[in-house]
Structure 1
Amino acid sequence: MTAVVLTPSGPFSLAASVRFLEGFTPASYQGTADAVLHLAFPADDGHSTVAVAVRQEETAEGEAGRVLAEFTTYPDAPADPVSAGTGPEPEPEPGPGEAEVEAETEAVRAQLARILSLDVDGSGFPGLAAADPVVAGLMADYPGLRPVCFHSPYEAAAWAVIGHRIRMTQAAAIKARLAERHGRRVRIEGRTRYAFPTPPALRAITRAPGLTEVKIERLHALAEAANAGELDAARLRSTPADYALAALRDLPGIGPFSAELILIRGAGHPDVFPRHEPRLHAAMAGAYGLDETAARDVRRLAGIADRWRPYRSWVALLLRARAAHIGGRTP
């Protein structure tokens, strides 16, 4: 295993992240009593899988401890797509030189930081509370919670396609089944995790329970887009948000709502106000004491959200979590 350290800038609680994931249906995450986060996911390189255990150091109250992660990378290997994930746990393959190992380590570190929103300077986030009582209340209810993102824009896009026009719980079951049948099975500290299929593995799937032919074709297109670099997180975040969203809407099966999901929760953009999420708008209107008409006035809501810059995505996540009763402070 390789170890990396992430140092939060501003408030951060790994325990809050774990509680959020336990209530976030797409994650299908089952935590442990010790608040250690165990994840398995396709690496950003598109051709390997990462298994990681994440812990946070204890510090004096009010300070965010360092985040310690130990991970193993498993390169893709030829496998029967029907039985992948059912055999014995894979062994990491030897071979890379020192420079390659360093590059791989930094890539995994950057991806994990993005997943946990630790690649963003959050030192200014608490300052929003002074100017906005609603935000102050959210921070009190969800101390240290930052957005926990999808493992990649690629996986967020796949979720959007899988979940189109079906219940979220049904989509989560389909996604989990794809991981078990076509992704990597790994063991992390004695626990079994299944990673979502890498783009090449997803491209090889010709049929799967719960997926129509149209959805499979769209998933193939997403796999190809990921291989072509069109779903690269750094690229999406460095592009002006409106242009990035327009490019994402060009992908098959990706509409305005899904494009925002990919940019905000896949690429981890910290400062985008979701304009196509009625449930968030309703939660926001309720929090600010607005009527139903105001809840449909996206321009007005966006004006209120301007107070949250440069953390509009973060505050939106807290509103969404409160509305769904996910991961809050235990009464």
Structure 2
Amino acid sequence: MAHHRVEVAVQGPWSLATSREFWEGFTPSALPARAGEALQATFLVEGEWRRASVSVTQHGATAVLELSGEGDLDLAASQVCRFLSLDVDGRAWPDVGLRDPVIAAAQASLPGLRPCGFYSPYEAAAWSVLSQRIRVSQAAVLKASLLRDGVFPAPAELLRLDLDLPGRKPEYLRAVAEAALDGVLDAVALRSLKPAAAVLAVQQVKGLGPFAAELVVLRGANAPDAMPHNESRLTDEVSERYGRPLAEVSEAWRPYRTWASVHLRVLRERRLGGAMASA
């Protein structure tokens, strides 16, 4: 098994501790709580679909990634940076707080938070299917039943499984697996598109409606500057805090609209209770 160490100079505010706390409560990809400061995860390297493991520590403004696995660990490192939002230049993020006092308060309450997403758009799409029309806790049980040694099955493996799941979930999961193999759910490709175009592309996958497609783009590809238009909890939060429409309020959040949205959702979940489970 190969080993690889990568040091990443993170641009702008970042706290591994805050981000790790967020991810440990993010139901679809929840990490087990562990002692020590490192964030540890095992995932499939997108495209190759081979296992890789990473231990992430923070040394000042530098993220240190200790990787191991059988696949391309440079690809794995890029993927880690994407799902931890370490690949985003966040130096102008504090300016959003200067323009918007609500976001300033959120930044102060969640110092250094960078949204942690799904390991890949493929896994985000699979979660979207699993969580349709059932409780998040029930979807988490379904997902756990599919894991192989703690990792979600690769697309080709998922196609071979006899999926004993309710409703049309088996059909839709197979469509997701086929889309992943065809490159439709590739994170780099989705991030290269404008968010609206990326969402439309994902909606071509059977079983993925507007809400699911937004989740895949915003939290699967972890696009930093996109707006969820079908997330009622965020809309409610903005209405309560601002008394103005989300589309109007969010203009002050550019180019970090996803980040601002996630901050508000985290604060809402803290206030009202519940798991941070979607976009």
The aligned counterpart of 2:184 is 230
The aligned counterpart of 1:116 is 84
Note the residue ranges of structure 2 that are not aligned, 5 or more in a row: none
The answer to whether the 8 Å contact 2:10/2:86 transfers is yes
Q: 1:242 aligns with which of 178, 181, 196?
A: 196
The aligned counterpart of 1:319 is 264
Name the CA distance, whole Å, in 2 between partners of 1:35 and 1:253.
Answer: 39
C-alpha distance 204-213 of structure 1, shift in aligned 2 (>3 A): farther
CA shift for structure 1 position 105:
2.8
The aligned counterpart of 2:162 is 206
Letter in 2 for 1:265: R
TM-score (norm 2): 0.93
The answer to whether the 8 Å contact 1:28/1:176 transfers is no
The answer to whether the 8 Å contact 1:49/1:198 transfers is no
The answer to whether the 8 Å contact 1:154/1:222 transfers is yes
Q: 1:28 aligns with which of 17, 30, 53?
A: 30
Name the CA distance, whole Å, in 1 between partners of 2:196 and 2:143.
Answer: 29
The aligned counterpart of 1:49 is 51
The aligned counterpart of 1:305 is 250
Pairing of 1:10-89 with structure 2 (within 5 A): 10-57=12-59, 59=60, 65-74=61-70
Three-state SS of the structure 2 residue aligned to 1:109 is helix
Matched, 1:142 2:107: no
C-alpha distance 11-213 of structure 1, shift in aligned 2 (>3 A): same
Three-state SS of the structure 2 residue aligned to 1:122 is coil
Note the residue ranges of structure 1 that are not aligned, 5 or more in a row: 60-64, 76-103, 186-193, 295-299
Name the CA distance, whole Å, in 2 between partners of 1:285 and 1:138.
Answer: 16
Letter in 1 for 2:163: R
Name which one, 1 or 2, has greater alpha-carbon Rg.
Answer: 1
CA shift for structure 1 position 27:
2.0
Residue correspondences, number: 270
Q: 2:124 aligns with which of 149, 156, 161?
A: 156
Letter in 2 for 1:196: F
Letter in 2 for 1:67: A
Name the CA distance, whole Å, in 2 between partners of 1:40 and 1:196.
Answer: 10
The root-mean-square deviation of aligned C-alpha atoms, in Å, is 1.5
Matched, 1:130 2:98: yes
Name the CA distance, whole Å, in 1 between partners of 2:154 and 2:79.
Answer: 15
Aligned-residue identity in percent? 40
Name the CA distance, whole Å, in 1 between partners of 2:167 and 2:248.
Answer: 41
Matched, 1:218 2:203: no
Matched, 1:268 2:222: yes
Name the CA distance, whole Å, in 1 between partners of 2:218 and 2:142.
Answer: 23
- Report Cα offsets for 1:55-92 as digits up to 9, x if no partner: 111x4xxxxx31111111236xxxxxxxxxxxxxxxxx
Three-state SS of the structure 2 residue aligned to 1:41 is strand
Three-state SS of the structure 2 residue aligned to 1:206 is coil
CA shift for structure 1 position 213:
5.6
CA shift for structure 1 position 198:
1.0
